[in-house]
Amino acid sequence: MKAFLREDIITSLSPDGDTEIGQIPRDVGLERLRFNGQRVVDLATLDSMWVRPMAGGFELHAIEVPGSQLVRMRYRDRKRLQVIGGRISLKSSEQIAAELDKQRRALIVAQTKRKLEASVGPAELRLEYLAAIVTIIIEHVLNSTFASTELLSDILPLMKTAYPVDRLAARVKSAVSKSSEHLNDLWSKL
């Protein structure tokens, strides 16, 4: 069988191909097959392969190609590839777990924020809703009713997720400082 190649990558099978590659394995896609100069190799059978970083990912090779590094890995490990300090290696289980946890947390925060924003309603009602929340907080501080405690307990985690206190604290301090300066200016003119 003949094929067109780009380095060792079989780009297409064709009777007009520029290289005789011999028989290819049945039920294996071209994305896993490479031609090592003598025969077709299934990357899934290798214990190490040549890896080259490419824009948006990595390219796997059965032979050394310019810009590639030999990595001891299986084909199924290709999603664990990373480049650190110019060296290609596999991410550890801990790194993968941390990345998945970070993605999961980011997804939960985004979903919670969308739900909270959706529940707050259109912009023209947000000030009204904010006033209602402040009213509930004042009622809770003054009377500590069960209903206000329950409602605040439900609202607080959503509010903390959607509006992190540490991020807002700096803005609030700045706003209070500016407001204080403006009020002092006003008082001095009276």
In a domain? residue 171:
yes
Residue 103 belongs to domain spanning: 96-183
Helices (H) and strands (E) in the chain, counts: 4, 10
Per DSSP, the three-state class of 44 is helix
Query: Of residues 120 and 15, which shows the higher confidence score?
Result: 15
**How many distinct structural domains can be found in the chain?**
2
Among 91, 107, 136, residue at a domain's last position: 91
Co-location of 84 and 101 in the same domain: no
Give the model's confidence band at 82: pLDDT under 50 very low, under 70 low, under 90 confident, else very high. very high
Which ranges of the chain does DSSP label H, i.e. alpha helix?
A: 93-120, 123-143, 146-162, 165-189
Other C-beta atoms closer than 10 Å to the C-beta of 7 total: 17
Work out the pLDDT band at 124, boundaries 50, 70, 90. low
> Does 80 share its domain with 105?
no
pLDDT at 133: 74
Same domain for 53 and 40, yes or no, is yes
- Least confident range from 11-20, 87-96, 141-150: namely 141-150
Say which range, 23-27, 36-40, 176-180, has the weakest mean pLDDT.
176-180
Question: What pLDDT is attached to residue 122?
Answer: 62
Report which of residues 180 and 131 the model is more confident about.
131
Instruction: Look at residue 138 in the predicted model and tell me its pLDDT.
Output: 74
For residue 52, what pLDDT band results from cuts at 50, 70 and 90?
Answer: very high
Confidence of residue 175 (pLDDT cuts 50, 70, 90): low
Domain boundary (91, 122, 154) is at 91
Q: At which of 39, 70, 91 does a domain end? A: 91
Q: Mean per-residue pLDDT for 15-19?
A: 90
Is residue 35 within 8 Å of 10, Cβ to Cβ?
A: yes
Question: pLDDT value at position 184?
Answer: 64
**117 part of a folded domain:** yes
| Model confidence at 3: pLDDT above 70 | yes
